[in-house]
Structure formats: C-alpha cells, structure tokens
C-alpha cells in the first residue's frame, strides 16, 4: 500500500488503470479533462496496457465503450456536465444492452451561462437511464468506488453500467491523500472480466434487433430486478473491500453519529463529507443529530430511508434542483416515506453553481430545521443582490 | 470473379424481413459472401435493423451489434479496439449503415473513426432516402426527387460524400452498385485485405422509395451507372480508378445515356413529366451530371 497525494481526477485515473480495463474511450471536458489526461499518461508509460481511443465526442466515447464492452472488454470512460448530456442516448443504450461500463462523472453545472463548478443537475437528469449512480465524498472514496464499481457492474446478477459522481473542483481538482492498495490485492478483489455473452464469430448472435412489446417489458423488468439486487451487492462488496483495505463506507449510506439521533441529515457528495464537521459541532451543542450520507442514488435506498424515518425526522440538502418542484433527493425521500412514516422531511437546495457550502452553513440549515424555522424547499445561501 | 465463383456459403439467411426487391438485402448477400464468417458487424438505425428480423430470431449468420443512428462508426472503433486487445486481429469489423446514418446524422462519428485510423470497413448502402422511417429526404437524395419531406421535389443537389471521404486520406474507398455484384464483391475483398479505415458506398435503388416496380431493382442500378448518375470507382491511397461501365464512360469509349432514361422510370420524378415535361429542371439535372463527369475527367483521367 502506498499513499498518493493528488487531485480527485488523478486518483480516479489511477484507480481506473489499476482496475485494468481493456478499452478506454474518452473525450476531454472541464473539469474531467485530467482524468483522461492521467490515463493517457499511464498509457504512454505502459502502466495502462489496454487500448485507448481518443474519440471525437462524448456521444462517440459512450458508443465506443458500448462496442468494446459488447465485444467482451472491460471498459472505462469519464465525463462531466454537457459531455454527460451528449451521451444521454447512449447511456440508455448501454444500460438496456446490460453492458458493465464504468464511468466517472464530475458533477458540473449545465449551461447557459458557462459555469464549470459543482452542481448535480447533470447526473440527476440521467437518473432514469438505468445506470447505477454513486456519489463520492472524498478522493479516497473515488479510488475505492471505481474499483468496487467494476466488481458490481460485472456481477452476473447485475450487468449494468455504473456512474461514479463527484463534485467539480471540490474533489476533482483538490489534492487529498489516498491509500493505494497493492496491484495484487486489487487483482484478487477484481479478477479479469469474463463476459457471459459477447460478439463472437464462433457463436454468431444478433444483439439489439427489433423486440416486441412483451419481450421489451421483460427486459425492463430484468433491469429493475438487477437494481434491486444491487442494493444487496453494494454493502457486500463494500464489506469485502473493507477486509482488504480496512476502509468502509457502509453500503448505500455512510452513517455518521446516528446513535439516538432525533434528526438525521441526508446529504451527498462532498457536502456529505463537510456535513460530518457540522454534525460534530451540533452534537457538542447537545443536538441529537446524525448524518446518513447518501452514496447511491440509483438504486434508490428506500428501505434505509424508512428505517431512518422510524428513528428521526429528516433534513435533506440537495445540490441540485428539479425545476418546478424541489431538490431531487428530497422528492425521492418523501416518496419513499409515503404511507410508511409521518416523520418530518425538511429539504434545502444549496450550493448550486459551485456556491460554497461550509460546515457552518450546514450547521445553520440543520439548526433551522430542528427548530422548525425552515420551510421545506428553501433555497439556502441565495443572495438576491447579485 | 464471376458470380458462379463466389462462395456458396450464405451469411445472409433466408426468411428475413426485407421488402420484395430490396437492394440492401442483395448488397448484404454479396458483401457477406466477400467478408466471410470471421466478421463482426455493427448496424445503426436503418432498414437493415428491420431486415435482421425480430428478436429472438435473426437473419444474420455473423455476430451483429445494433447501435443508435449516429453511432455505427464509433461503436466499430470500440469493437475493433476490444478485438485488438484480445489479439483477434484477423476478424473483420464492419459498420453497415444507410445514407441517412452516413451522410447526415452519422457523419461526425464516421469522420472521427476515419481520422483516428480505426481498422474497419464502413459500408454505406445508399438508397438516397430515409427509408426505414418511410421516404424522407437525406443528404443523398437527388435534386428534384419527391420524398414525403420534399413534396414538391428536393431543392438541393446531393452532398459529395466521396470527396468528403477522400479528404480523410484513408487507404481505400470505393463506390459500387448492387447491379454489379462482381465489382462489389471484388471491392469488399480488396478492402478486407487492407489495414486501416476503408469506406465503400453502394448505390441501392429502393422500389418503394423511388417508386418503381420491385422487379426492376437491378435495372434501376444499371441505368444509374449507364446514365452517369452514379459512378463505379475506387480510390487507393489517393489514386482514383474508375471501374466497369464507368471506366468506359470516363474514357469516352461508351456514351452516357441521357439522365432521363433513368429518372423516367421512377415515380419520385414523375412530377417532372406531367402534366407536361419540365424541360428546365430536367436540363438542369442533366447539366449537373455533365459537369460532374467533366470534373471526373479533369481530376482522375
């Protein structure tokens, strides 16, 4: 094990290379660019021994990944914001084709105007594509999740693409230390990909031809079943990773000081890491509050949400907004609780467009919610005079 | 290569879902004979997605990956990279797309794959329309042709796709036609044996799209070549050679038939003949073909 002190993107590139993909197809976009540059560097030195395709667009990046994955390759790519949206059609295609492609998406604003800072609206708007979605809180977790994602995606009962999201600049360009396990430990955890089916001249099969309604219906149900299964597999894979590295992120949630909590804060991404400091300070002040950092948005952890609501009222901070409604995570949490719980859910929209959200801000939001002074759907930190 | 000498083995199976008289199926049959079974094909949205037949059946005896409309060339890049990593460098990777997926929506991905040197054959079967969605105009639809989106006749000439392809400096590109299967077969075999990106475009006269009787598909292709509306040629490392009838036309050993000989059999041009002959448009179209051949002679003879 070695310590790598680097930005989230270079740590993601390191993880991708150590997962030994056969094919990487990628296109640069701020703030993802250093991920693909990192892989290109490893490619030039031979540390990455797979194929590297410099495509002419993100749409083609995902299309090339689909072709490669269908031909039996372990496949990786990375993108952000507009790049992710340009891939949108092929995200559906990859998921319906049940291809275990792994992709890092660096959560960034969608224009106009041009803004390259953190915001989850890019990946939240891809939630119905069938991709499993992780949200990371620190650079170490980015590394660990990339490795875990391949194992999850390629599992025989999953076979779905996985998107690993993390915040633009807050993580992508911020240097933090990460423990890098030995390659042999990673190889043991993540053996070579053995596809159950592939494009094979010795067993000619046509994939993706015309499909009648009932068969299509069945395909969709199979995807849903795979997501349900992923809810069980994610904690299991996390536990297995813990035996090798000693690091655990829980499963679908990372719980922090939730014992005897009367309020539980739910946040994701880097806000989730920042929230831990806020929780410590609020606990010191005697507030019975804990944090459930949401790691996985798809599949949505409905059962855990219900469990938290049995114990406490919920406070939700969303770094995204489903325009016309409220933060997407908040909506889904409320929906999960319908007819199951009468716990209070107080949702905040904060940090859009890379607006800074510090532990002090999180403390304020929590205090307002606990004191019943906040109306759910409130926009925190919005300055009217800008 | 005479037709009787082509392999008996069929990779295009009987019982497929093509229209009667479908030129794409004829082209596929010849192309797949030339490619053989060690071939992987990717197919975007186009008539071939229908010709393949319904899941769980297929009319292909080679592995095929369907892909979105604009993505065939990019997907082929991925397949080719995966095979290279697996050491399977003898498998031919083919993208098979219509003119809509090539001239229009798929142009960017095609250009990208050609530029980065993907070792594959891109084949465009050009029926000069979006035929899978009905009969709508594409960048390959000829001037004045009726389609459901050019009801009064198309007001633009076709894109010079051959020139666009040649601007990529790839080792091999060619134009063929379903009516000349030996020529098509030879071109595919030649492309198969060249490393790097290859492009072959096949003129595919479509009976429902062009509005002619389904027993005249081959004749419509022959007339396209005889009138010079379509040229058979190949371009190897920048050197263009005309083939068959087109070579004789280029060398002026054979007279081009008047364009009218080709278009008068096609319902898509019927508005040029009734209620009376539209001499102005017809002569403009003829002039366009004449100029094209003047240019061919100047550049390639």
Contacts with B56 from chain A: Cβ below 8 Å:
215
Of the partner residues A51, A66, A208, the one whose CB lies closest to the CB of residue B85: A51
Q: Cα separation of A313 and A342, whole Å? A: 9
Rg from Cα positions in chain A: 20
The whole-number pLDDT of residue A338 equals 97
Listed residue (A142, A151, A137, A143) closest to A1, CA to CA: A143
Query: Chain A: residue nearest B77 by CA?
Result: A64
Q: Cα separation of A149 and A154, whole Å? A: 8
Contacts with A204 from chain B: Cβ below 8 Å:
37, 60-64
Q: Is 90 exceeded by the pLDDT of residue B301?
A: no
The whole-number pLDDT of residue B295 equals 96
3-class secondary-structure state, position B257: coil
Please state, for a pLDDT cut of 90, what percent of chain B lies above it. 97
Of the partner residues B56, B74, B84, the one whose CB lies closest to the CB of residue A63: B74
Q: Is residue B257 within 8 Å of residue B227, measured between CB atoms?
A: yes
The whole-number pLDDT of residue A260 equals 97
Query: Chain B: residue nearest A56 by CA?
Result: B112
Mean pLDDT, residues B183-200 taken together: 98
Query: Chain A: residue nearest B64 by CA?
Result: A206
The whole-number pLDDT of residue A120 equals 98
Confidence of residue B1 (pLDDT cuts 50, 70, 90): confident
**Pairwise CB contact (< 8 Å): A90 & B71:** yes
| B290 contacts chain A (CB < 8 A) | no
Query: Which residues have C-beta within 8 Å of that of residue B2, sequence separation ≥ 6?
Result: B182
The whole-number pLDDT of residue A319 equals 98
Q: Cα separation of A121 and A333, whole Å? A: 17
Query: Chain B: residue nearest A77 by CA?
Result: B78
The whole-number pLDDT of residue B35 equals 98
Mutation site, B52, B63, B106, interface A, largest A CB count within 10 A? B63
**A265, containing H or E segment:** strand A263-268
CA distances from B212 to B134, B147, B157, B217 (A): 15, 14, 21, 8
| B109 contacts chain A (CB < 8 A) | yes
Question: CA quadruple B92, B97, B99, B100: dihedral positive or negative?
Answer: negative
The whole-number pLDDT of residue B132 equals 95
**A133, containing H or E segment:** strand A132-135
Which B-chain residues 27-86 have CB contacts (< 8 A) with chain A?
Answer: 37-40, 42, 49-50, 52-56, 58, 60-68, 70-71, 73-86
Query: Chain B: residue nearest A76 by CA?
Result: B78
**Pairwise CB contact (< 8 Å): A66 & B78:** yes
Which segments of chain B are extended strands (E)?
A: 39-43, 64-66, 92-98, 121-126, 172-177, 198-203, 233-236, 239-242
Q: Cα separation of B151 and B137, whole Å? A: 10
Mean pLDDT, residues B128-146 taken together: 97
| B220 contacts chain A (CB < 8 A) | no
0.90 cut: is pTM over it? yes
Q: Cα separation of A215 and B164, whole Å? A: 41
3-class secondary-structure state, position B95: strand
Residue B36 region by backbone torsions, left for phi larger than 0, else alpha for psi between -120 and 50, else beta: left
Contacts with A210 from chain B: Cβ below 8 Å:
49-50, 52-55
Listed residue (A27, A55, A163, A53) closest to A101, CA to CA: A163
**Pairwise CB contact (< 8 Å): B75 & A64:** yes
Vertex B231 angle, CA B229 and B232, to 5°: 150
**Mean pLDDT computed over every residue of chain B:** 97
Q: Is residue B121 within 8 Å of residue B93, measured between CB atoms?
A: yes
Mean pLDDT, residues B174-185 taken together: 98
8-state DSSP, A356 = -
A102 backbone dihedrals φ, ψ, rounded to 5°: -110, 135
Show contacts of A46-51: CB within 8 Å, 24+ apart.
A47/A17, A48/A17, A48/A24, A49/A20, A50/A20, A50/A21, A50/A22, A50/A23, A50/A24, A50/A74, A50/B85, A51/A22, A51/A23, A51/A24, A51/B81, A51/B82, A51/B84, A51/B85
> Which regions of chain A are under pLDDT 50?
none
CA distances from B64 to A266, A331, B87, B147, B273 (A): 45, 41, 20, 30, 43
CA distances from B161 to A203, B41, B140, B167, B203 (A): 35, 22, 8, 10, 12
Beta-sheet pairing, A296-298 with A132-135: antiparallel
Listed residue (B90, B76, B81, B91) closest to B123, CA to CA: B76
DSSP string, A290-314: EEEEE-EEES--HHHHHHHHHH-EE
Of the partner residues B54, B60, B84, the one whose CB lies closest to the CB of residue A212: B54
3-class secondary-structure state, position A189: helix
A296 backbone dihedrals φ, ψ, rounded to 5°: -125, 120
| B94 contacts chain A (CB < 8 A) | no
Rg from Cα positions in chain B: 18
């Amino acid at each position: 094990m070695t310590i790598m002190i680097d930005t989230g993107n270079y740590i993601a590139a390191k993880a991708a290379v150590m997962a030994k993909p056969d094919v990487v197809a990628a296109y640069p976009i701020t703030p993802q660019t250093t991920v693909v540059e990192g892989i290109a560097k490893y490619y030039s030195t031979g540390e990455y021994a797979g194929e590297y395709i410099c495509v002419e667009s993100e749409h083609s990046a995902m299309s090339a990944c689909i072709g490669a994955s269908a031909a039996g390759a372990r496949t990786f790519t990375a993108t952000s914001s507009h790049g992710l949206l340009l891939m949108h059609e092929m995200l559906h295609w990859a998921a319906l084709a049940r291809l275990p492609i792994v992709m890092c998406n660096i959560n960034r604003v969608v224009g106009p105007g041009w803004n390259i800072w953190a915001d989850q609206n890019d990946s939240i708007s891809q939630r119905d594509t069938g991709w499993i979605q992780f949200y990371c809180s620190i650079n170490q977790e980015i590394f660990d999740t990339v490795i875990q994602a391949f194992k999850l995606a390629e599992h025989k009962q999953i076979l779905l693409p996985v998107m690993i999201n993390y915040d633009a600049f807050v993580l992508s360009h911020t240097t933090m230390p990460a423990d890098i396990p030995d390659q042999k430990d990673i190889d043991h955890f993540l053996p070579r990909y053995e596809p159950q089916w592939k494009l094979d001249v010795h067993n000619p099969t046509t994939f993706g031809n015309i499909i009648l309604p009932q068969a299509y219906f069945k395909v969709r149900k199979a995807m849903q079943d795979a997501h349900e299964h992923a809810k069980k597999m994610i904690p299991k894979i996390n536990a297995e990773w813990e035996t090798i590295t000693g690091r655990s992120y829980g499963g679908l949630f990372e719980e922090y000081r939730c014992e005897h909590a009367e309020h539980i804060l739910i946040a994701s991404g880097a806000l989730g890491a920042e929230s831990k400091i806020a929780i410590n300070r609020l606990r010191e002040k005697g507030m019975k509050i804990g944090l459930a950092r949401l790691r996985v948005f798809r599949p949505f952890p409905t059962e855990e949400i219900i469990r938290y609501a049995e114990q406490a009222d919920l406070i939700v901070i969303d770094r995204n907004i489903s325009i016309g409604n409220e933060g997407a995570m908040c909506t889904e949490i409320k929906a999960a609780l319908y007819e199951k719980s009468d716990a209070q859910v107080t949702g905040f929209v904060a940090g859009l467009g890379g607006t800074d959200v510090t532990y002090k801000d999180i403390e304020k939001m929590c205090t307002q919610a606990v004191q019943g002074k906040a109306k759910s759907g409130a926009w925190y930190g919005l300055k009217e005079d800008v | 290569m005479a037709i009787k000498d082509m392999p008996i083995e069929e990779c295009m199976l009987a019982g497929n879902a093509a229209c009667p008289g479908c030129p794409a199926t004829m082209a596929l049959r010849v192309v797949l004979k030339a490619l053989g079974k060690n071939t992987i094909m990717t197919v975007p949205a186009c008539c071939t997605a229908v010709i393949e037949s319904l899941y769980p059946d297929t009319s292909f005896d080679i592995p095929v990956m369907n892909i979105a409309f604009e993505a065939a060339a990019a997907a082929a890049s991925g397949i080719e990279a995966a095979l290279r990593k697996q050491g399977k460098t003898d498998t031919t990777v083919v993208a098979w797309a219509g003119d809509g997926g090539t001239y229009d929506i798929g142009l960017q991905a095609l250009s990208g794959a050609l530029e980065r040197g993907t070792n594959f054959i891109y084949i465009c079967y050009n029926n000069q329309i979006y035929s899978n969605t009905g009969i709508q105009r594409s960048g390959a639809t000829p001037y004045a042709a009726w389609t459901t989106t050019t009801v009064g006749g198309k007001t633009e000439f076709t894109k010079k796709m051959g020139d666009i392809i040649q601007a990529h400096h790839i080792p091999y590109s060619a134009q063929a036609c379903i009516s000349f299967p030996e020529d098509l077969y030879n071109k595919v075999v030649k492309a198969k044996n060249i490393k790097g990106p290859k492009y072959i475009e096949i003129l595919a006269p479509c009976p429902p799209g062009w509005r002619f009787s389904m027993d005249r598909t081959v004749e419509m292709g022959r007339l396209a070549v005889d009138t010079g509306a379509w040229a058979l040629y190949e371009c190897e490392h920048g050197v263009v050679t005309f083939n068959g009838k087109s070579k004789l036309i280029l060398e002026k050993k054979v007279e081009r038939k008047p364009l009218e000989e080709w278009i008068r059999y096609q319902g898509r041009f019927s508005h040029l003949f009734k209620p009376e002959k539209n001499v102005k448009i017809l002569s403009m179209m003829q002039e366009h073909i004449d100029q094209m051949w003047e240019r061919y002679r100047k550049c390639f003879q």
